[in-house]
Amino acid sequence: MDYKFYGWEHANVPAVTPEYQKVKNPRHLYELLSDIWCAKTCAPRMRDEWTKENRTLGQCSITAFLAQDIFGGEVYGIWRPGGNYHCYNVIGDCVFDLTSEQFQGEDLCYENNPKQFREVHFLKEEKHLRYEYLKTELKKILENM
């Protein structure tokens, strides 16, 4: 697979939880999620713009928190015009952003950004439901591997 997400070259961290041991690293998670990301998992405000060609659009926070479940580490956010944070993962010195492709080459700054917390993001019920759906669909795939 041709990886285009930020940090793919160094995304070699292993799963830290037994239930996700089949997920080899963030690149493997990207491959698995590529078959799951859909308009249903996209942020509602972006859903009309979502396409299979831009499958990471509107998927950042739910993807970053799922990656945190699997690999540990922290989730950070880049402040975006419009008042939202774009979420990505940091595990030790490994920084990766599984959904960076949605910005189509725009330079994002992955330094000195604030931590993001699921307790805050998941106050939005729709976001928590999208995260749960993504997690459930991933577990189905892993059960069949």
Tens digits of residue pLDDT in 99-113: 999 998 789 999 999
pLDDT computed for residue 105 by the predictor: 77
Strand, helix or coil for residue 25: coil
Look up the pTM and report it.
0.96
Distances (CA, A) of 106 to 4, 5, 40, 78, 80: 12, 12, 25, 13, 12
User: Model confidence at 3, in pLDDT bands (50, 70, 90)?
Assistant: very high
pLDDT tens per residue across span 52-85: 999 999 999 999 999 999 999 999 999 998 889 9
